[in-house]
Amino acid sequence: MARIVLTNAYISVGGVDLSDLVSSVSLSSTFDVVETTAFSSSATKTRVAGLADNSVTLEFHQDYATGEVEQTIYPLLGTVAAVIVKPNGSTTSAFNPSYSFNAVISEWTPLNGAVGELASASVSWPVTGAITKAVA
């Protein structure tokens, strides 16, 4: 299996393919660690996994034109939206798994940037429910 350099990641938010306006994507999944240590001869702590907590972080290039980033995300603010991310293009396969989930569109930065910089919007949205991984 080859290493992969991300050049063509697929990102869909609310059903809309916004891949060419996203410069960074990170899907994170962590579990609470619940301690279960009890008296035993092993003298070690024991633990089990608790609740999962997932989130997605995206860096958008801002675009106010019809059907672009601002018009797509703004109506979703404060709602739950379907998000799909894939490492390499839209075709799902064993080597290009699809991760689909619902994210709470909890933050948005309609205007962000300094003089001479590209207008961008960096967001971190919590996932509600499970992440579904598909390979076909």
Binding residues for other proteins, rule: CB under 8 A, are 14-18, 66-68, 71-72, 74-76, 79, 81-82, 90, 102
Report the C-alpha gap between 61 and 50 in whole angstroms: 36
Nearer to other proteins, 26 or 79 (CB): 79
Nearer to other proteins, 37 or 93 (CB): 93
CB 70 to other proteins: min, Å: 9
Report the C-alpha gap between 27 and 99 in whole angstroms: 9
Nearer to other proteins, 31 or 74 (CB): 74
CB 78 to other proteins: min, Å: 11
